[in-house]
Amino acid sequence: SLADIERGFKVLKSEIEIGPVYHRLPERIRAHASICFMALILHRVMRSRLKAADAGYTPERALEQLQRIQHHRVRLNGGEPVAGVSTPSTEQNEVLHALGIEKPAAPEQLALL
C-alpha cells in the first residue's frame, strides 16, 4: 500500500540514514535502489525478530549494541598474528539471541580492556 511505501522511505531517510545520491548511469541507479531495498528489508527483519523475541530493543538500539563487538588482529615483533573477538556483554548476547544470530567467534576470546 502507499502508506507502507511512505513508511519505508521514512525509515530509509531517518533510521537507516540513507541520503539522496545522484547517479546518471542506469546500472548505478539500479544498484543504489537495490542497496536501499536490501537495507529496508534487513531493518524490517530485525524489527520483526526483536519484537517476536520480546527483546525490548529497536533495530537502531540493537545495532548500537552490536557495533561495540570488536575483532582484533595483532602481530607483535614480526611474529604470527593473533586474532580475537571481544567478549559480548549481556546486552549484546540478548540481541544476538533475539535475532537468532550465533556469537562471533575467533580462535581466542578476548576480554574488553
Q: Band the pLDDT of 113: cuts 50, 70, 90.
A: very low
Reported as a single tens digit per residue, the pLDDT across 67-93 is 999 888 888 888 888 888 888 999 999
Reported as a single tens digit per residue, the pLDDT across 26-43 is 898 888 888 888 888 888
DSSP secondary structure string for all residues of 31-90 = HHHHHHHHHHHHHHHHHHHHHHTT----HHHHHHHHTT--EEEE--TT---EEEEEPP-H
Question: Could you give the maximum distance between any two Cα atoms of the chain, in Å?
Answer: 61
Q: Is residue 110 within a helix (H) or strand (E), and if so which, with residue range? A: strand 108-110
Q: Does position 101 have pLDDT exceeding 60, yes or no? A: yes
